Amino acid sequence: MGGQLGFLYRQLTFRPKPRSQSTSLANKTALITGSNSGLGLEAALQHTSHSLPHLILAVRDPSKASPEFEVEVWPLDQEDYISIVAFGKRVIGLERCGYVLLNAGVTMLEFSASSKTGHERNVQINHTSTALLPLLLILTLTSEGHSWIPFHERPTPDILAHMDEPSTFGPLMQRYYTTKLLNVLWIRGLSSRGRKRGGGRCFVDTVVNHESSHRDYLSEQAVVKPSGFVLSLEGEEVQKRFWRETAELLRRVEEVDLPSFVD
């Protein structure tokens, strides 16, 4: 059963399988963004139950992170490119980092432009900053909702600039789900260029048990197909154009030095 009704049915009936107690994350470091509450915090708790020795919570406001276990809490403001670049340099300085889970995001139901970048905040936080982080780390998390939206913005010559216009915002959750489609398009583009590196239980299952699922979309602990649009010829064309738009936007950020493969 697909679509929104299928999603609601699975939300009510699907129970994530817990990791076997024999699963060990010893000698690993895990980094989770947006991890001071909600699914990010639950994923952190799941990691610590499997002998993980080093956990980094990346949060916008470290004072709001109060886990019941010993961790490092690093600041990361996804509306601030200086904060993102500083965070990336700090991660690169780690002796090792086994898993990175990019969970941070927002759901803004009314149009709001970021005071720091000028871009619409759903797009800035959920897509642009989430697209930049893997480039800095050379190592995402999206949503089934990417298959539900009409994506009216796709014919425009500059999708990101068009989405900064308040008149394009759309009703209810439409903009949020559009940013999740942008995540899918970006990651599919990234996976064809960069080197192949690799509730809360689903997140942990993704990073622990699906290391070979490069470029794949996972839902409910299984590899599934993304939306029909993503797999269509039109989707492939929009993906290539959108990759160029996002890369060009990031090149204009003075603090960012993009990898050479971002052509």
How does pLDDT run across 196-220, given as a tens digit for each residue?
A: 445 445 455 555 555 555 556 665 5
Domain that holds residue 47: 26-251
257/161 Cα distance (integer angstroms): 22
In a domain? residue 7: no
Our count of domains for the chain comes to: 1
Residue 197: what pLDDT? 40
SS3 track for 227-262: CHHHHCHHHHHHHHHHHHHHHHHHHCCCCCCCCCCC
Segment 66-95, tens digit of pLDDT: 555 557 889 999 999 999 999 988 888 887
> Does some domain include residue 134?
yes
Match 């994923």 to its residue by tokens.
43
| CA angle centred on 65, ends 59 and 66, rounded to 5° | 160
Flag whether 49 is in a domain: yes
In a domain, 93, yes or no: yes
Whether residue 143 lies inside any domain: the answer is yes
Alpha helix ranges (H) inside the chain: 3-13, 38-48, 81-92, 121-122, 129-137, 159-163, 174-191, 200-209, 228-231, 233-251
Q: In this structure, are strands 54-59 and 72-75 parallel, antiparallel, or unpaired?
A: parallel
Q: Quick check: is 13 in a domain?
A: no
| CATH code, domain carrying 92 | 3.40.50.720
The reply to whether 261 falls in a domain is: no
pTM confidence score: 0.68
**Residue 147: per-residue pLDDT:** 66
How far apart are alpha carbons 243 and 240 in whole angstroms? 5
Q: Tell me if 121 is assigned to some domain.
A: yes
**Could you report the per-residue pLDDT of 131-180, keeping only the tens digit for each?**
898 888 764 455 556 666 788 888 888 999 999 999 999 888 889 888 88
User: Catalytic site residues?
Assistant: 143, 176, 180
